[in-house]
Amino acid sequence: MEETLAVRKLDRLGVVLVAGGIAATALLPFIYVKANRIAAGKPMLLTQLLPQPSVLILLVLLIATALATLFLRNAFIRLALGTLCLAGLIAAIGLTATAATPPSSTVARMTPGGSFWVLFGVIGLIISDALVKIRLTPWMRVAALVAYAALLGICLSSGLLDSLSILREFSTRSAQFWTEAYSHLLLAFGSLAIAIVLGLPLGILCFWVPKLRAIVLQTLSLIQTIPSLALFGILMLPLGYLATHVPLAADIGIRGIGTAPALIALVLYSLLPIVANTVVGLEGVDPSVRDAAAGMGLTRRQILTGIDLPLAFPVILTGIRIVLVQAIGMVTIAALIGGGGFGIFIFQGLGQTAMDLVLLGAVPTVFFAFSSAVILDAVIDSIRGSAA
Amino acid sequence: MSMIEIRNVTKRYGTATVVDNVSMNVEKGEITVIVGTSGSGKSTLMRMINRLVPITEGQIFVGGQNVIDVEVTELRRKIGYAIQGHGLFPHRTVAQNIATVPQLLDWDSARIAKRVEELLGLFNLDPATFADKYPHQLSGGQQQRVGVARALAAEPELLLMDEPFGALDPVIRGKAQDDLLAIQKQFGTTIILVTHDMDEAFHLGNQIAVMSQGRLLQCSTPEKILTEPADPFVQQLTGTSDRALKLMSLLPLKESMAPAKSGLAYALPQSLSLRDALAEMIWQGVDEAAVENGEKAAVGSISMSRLLELGRKA
């Protein structure tokens, strides 16, 4: 009796996901076949590609995953089917792209269409839902991230996806891609490091001096409200002036455009979450713990480093997580003022109405932001788990 | 020479006087309980001894030395400190918590480990079970015991306790008070304890200091607080309805018994107070009982009429 009930009771999230997947498969193109980068593509539905074996296999896997999502409670089976289905999806897009590319053509572009992205998202959600239900420990979540990244890496390095437009764009700019990846991460992590070095002491000071707190936090909130593009513009003037009038400033690389204003703007945006979370974290420390520490003869510095900061650390780390994810996204805009990073591809692509080039910048940015969020969440959870 | 001398100490915050010209002495090895309602200045007075609160006027001497002349962290490391809600460090284990002050004093690790084990045993916490636990894994009573053990870790001569049993339920509180008395007897530690609970003050104190609105109303033995209250407020605080029984609870049976008699069917242990002896005799329905020592040998006797006489207003 219970079992029949369990079967009849549909998974609500599953219904939404499966409905979305079916609608996308039926209505949106799976792939656009374009004669060249900017030509209007010929949309192909998944059903129009049917004779191909990879598409047949994908459809079977999609149906199996849909049924499992609707009727099966076992998260492990769902996870396995979802992962298989994801691999099938990636293989199918790669193989159909190769099949549609005219032999020896270098200008033809095969771009994944709407139904590919929707299916990718739906399967991703099914997998992450299953992972949540399995209740992985924090470090198992990182391991899962590494496993799926490795799966993606294998697909990329095997040449399976080489016919896809995004990889065509990559192959013509692979050297530049890695340079921009390096400067993107350097800007994101560099601004984070500077923001921690400045923000942590500022947060501690704000906690000790309540009068300072209101001024500092309001100033930093005000900075957050300035649109990033405007802030880059505001910084260009004083930095440009500095570069032309102070020889030393120009020597160490300070200019009105480029890395310097990008870095300064990113640090300014990063300060509020770090300072605010430091203050909140320190306020969350039980005053009786601090009183006992002082009463036993710990010095002010010993209380700070031995009691206050370790106890506030999970909250401070939450601020650092916000800042890192925010910075990885925001660095793309720095490309507009010559700061480098994946934004270069995005703005080039927008300028040339070449969406494939936009994707070459956007996809790795999303990947890095997502990975840092998962890793830092795992660190925060494991600290909370051991101390709570 | 007194262990602690408080001379004309005053504490003001702006225009508000929190402690008003208080003078009192505490003898070595005694338990002094400071009682008063909340806002009476009792905690502030105690916190001035280890300079957690700066003294506005007057002097405090600990062991003959003015506390102002001692470097503040050095002063505090020599004085044990236990507070309500224990104040244990949540991110450190029980053993690490207890080792806090010995570590600050640079004891070698073997000596620290030995001391931690000794203290855990003393407070009935099995070292093998409890040393590596975190405070949140303990019950309220266990946390409180670890808090007191931590305060005693560096063998201080003086222990300051701010409502240490305030967060405990009555049964555990009574047990914790008895444990404290036993440990104080063993180490001879001088204790200053702040509480708002008059029964706790009578149970623990060799000396009781009653404070109200920053002033010290009376500082004397529990008997005198009962029989010769210096102020209507002191009388009100001690209560009048059961003062005969309160007084009897302060008097040991051992010192009031008559010589031993033969032919008494019922015997009481000599460790009882007069109050407990009275209660026991009412319950058993006897008019006279023998008093025996720990080896069950008769050392005296006590009659109901003698007990009633002893409880009478002097």
pLDDT digits (tens, 9 = 90+) for B238-293: 777 777 888 888 888 888 888 888 888 888 888 888 888 888 888 888 888 888 88
Rounded to the nearest angstrom, the minimum Cα separation between B104 and chain A is 8
- 3 state SS for chain B: CCCEEEEEEEEEECCEEEEEEEEEEECCCCEEEEEECCCCCHHHHHHHHCCCCCCCEEEEEECCEEHHHCCHHHHHHHEEEEECCCCCCCCCCHHHHHCHHHHHCCCCHHHHHHHHHHHHHHCCCCHHHHCCCCHHHCCHHHHHHHHHHHHCCCCCCEEEEECCCCCCCHHHHHHHHHHHHHHHHHHCCEEEEEECCHHHHHHHCCEEEEEECCEEEEEECHHHHHHCCCCHHHHHHHCCCCHHHHHHHHCEHHHCCECCCCCCCCEEECCCEHHHHHHHHHHHCCCEEEEECCCCCEEEEEEHHHHHHHCCCC
**Token pair of A370 as six digits:** 């997502």
CA–CA dist A49, A57 (Å, integer) = 12
**Token pair of B65 as six digits:** 């030395």
List the single residue in A294, A296, A387 with the smallest CB-CB distance to B90.
A387
Chain center to CA of B186: 14
**Token pair of A134 as six digits:** 């399995």
pLDDT of residue A2: 46
Residues of B in contact with A294 (CB under 8 A): 52, 76
Q: Which residues contact A125 (CB under 8 A, 6 or more apart)?
A: A13, A17
CA–CA dist A288, A277 (Å, integer) = 21
**Token pair of B17 as six digits:** 């006087």
Structure-token match 């994908």, residue found: A58
CB of A284 within 8 Å of any CB in chain B? no
Residue in B with minimal Cα distance to A384: B91
CA–CA dist A126, A69 (Å, integer) = 7
Are the CB atoms for B190 and B49 separated by under 8 Å? no
CA–CA dist B313, B248 (Å, integer) = 11
CA–CA dist A364, B63 (Å, integer) = 70
Q: Considering only CB atoms, which residues of chain B are within 8 Å of chain A?
A: 50, 52, 72-77, 81, 83-91, 100-101, 104, 134, 136, 147, 150-151, 160
Rounded to the nearest angstrom, the minimum Cα separation between B110 and chain A is 21
CB of A307 within 8 Å of any CB in chain B? yes
Would the CB atoms of A296 and B76 count as touching at under 8 Å?
yes
CA–CA dist B35, B31 (Å, integer) = 13
Extract long-range pairs of A314-317: CB within 8 Å, 24+ residues apart.
A314/A281, A314/A380, A314/A383, A314/A384, A314/A387, A315/A277, A315/A278, A315/A280, A315/A281, A315/A284, A316/A200, A316/A203, A316/A274, A316/A277, A316/A278, A316/A281, A317/A376, A317/A379, A317/A380, A317/A383
Residues of A in contact with B104 (CB under 8 A): 296-298, 302
Task: Name which of A192, A203, A226 is nearest A322 in CA terms.
Answer: A192
Are the CB atoms for A322 and A273 separated by under 8 Å? yes
User: pLDDT digit string (tens) for B138-173?
Assistant: 988 899 999 999 999 999 999 999 998 887 888 888
pLDDT band at residue B296 under the 50/70/90 scheme: confident
User: pLDDT digit string (tens) for B174-185?
Assistant: 888 988 999 999
Chosen for mutation from A296, A299, A316, A383 (greatest number of chain B CBs closer than 10 Å) is A296
Task: Name which of B269, B272, B270 is nearest B249 in CA terms.
Answer: B272
**Token pair of A71 as six digits:** 């009727």
Rounded to the nearest angstrom, the minimum Cα separation between B89 and chain A is 6
Residue in A with minimal Cα distance to B83: A292
Would the CB atoms of B83 and A292 count as touching at under 8 Å?
yes
Task: Name which of A135, A158, A160 is nearest A385 in CA terms.
Answer: A135
CB of A388 within 8 Å of any CB in chain B? yes
Would the CB atoms of B83 and A295 count as touching at under 8 Å?
yes
**How confident is the prediction along chain A (388 residues), in pLDDT tens digits per residue?**
444 554 556 778 888 999 999 999 889 999 988 887 777 788 888 888 888 888 989 999 999 999 888 888 888 899 999 999 999 999 999 998 888 888 777 788 888 888 999 999 999 999 988 888 888 888 888 999 999 999 889 988 888 888 888 888 888 888 999 999 999 999 999 999 999 999 999 999 999 998 999 999 999 999 989 888 888 888 888 888 888 888 787 777 777 778 888 888 999 999 999 999 999 999 999 999 999 999 999 999 999 999 999 999 999 999 999 999 999 999 998 888 888 889 999 999 898 888 888 999 999 999 999 999 999 999 888 887 765 4
Q: Cα-Cα-Cα-Cα dihedral of B175, B176, B178, B181, to 10°? A: 170
List the single residue in B90, B91, B101 with the smallest CB-CB distance to A296.
B101
**Token pair of A228 as six digits:** 């990033």
Chain A stretch 40-59, residues whose beta carbon is closer than 8 A to a beta carbon of chain B: none
Q: Which residues contact B287 (CB under 8 A, 6 or more apart)?
A: B281, B303, B304, B305
List the single residue in A289, A299, A310 with the smallest CB-CB distance to B87.
A289
pLDDT band at residue B313 under the 50/70/90 scheme: low
Burial per residue of B55-69, b for 16 or more beta-carbon CB atoms within 10 angstroms, e otherwise? beebebbbbeeebee
Q: B2-6, B95-99, B292-296 — which one is most confidently predicted on average?
A: B95-99
Residues of B in contact with A297 (CB under 8 A): 72-77, 101, 104
**Token pair of A371 as six digits:** 């990975």
How many alpha carbons fall within 13 Å on the CB side of residue B202? Answer: 19
List the single residue in B50, B75, B89 with the smallest CB-CB distance to A289.
B89
Chosen for mutation from B71, B72, B76, B97 (greatest number of chain A CBs closer than 10 Å) is B76
Are the CB atoms for B48 and B95 separated by under 8 Å? no
CB of A296 within 8 Å of any CB in chain B? yes
Rounded to the nearest angstrom, the minimum Cα separation between A384 and chain B is 10
Percentage above 90 pLDDT, chain B: 50
CA–CA dist B222, B201 (Å, integer) = 8
Residue in B with minimal Cα distance to A287: B87
**Whole-prediction pTM:** 0.80
Task: Name which of A259, A267, A261 is nearest A323 in CA terms.
Answer: A267
Residue in B with minimal Cα distance to A308: B89
Q: Cα-Cα-Cα-Cα dihedral of A273, A279, A281, A284, to 10°? A: -140
Q: Which amino acid is at B62?
A: V
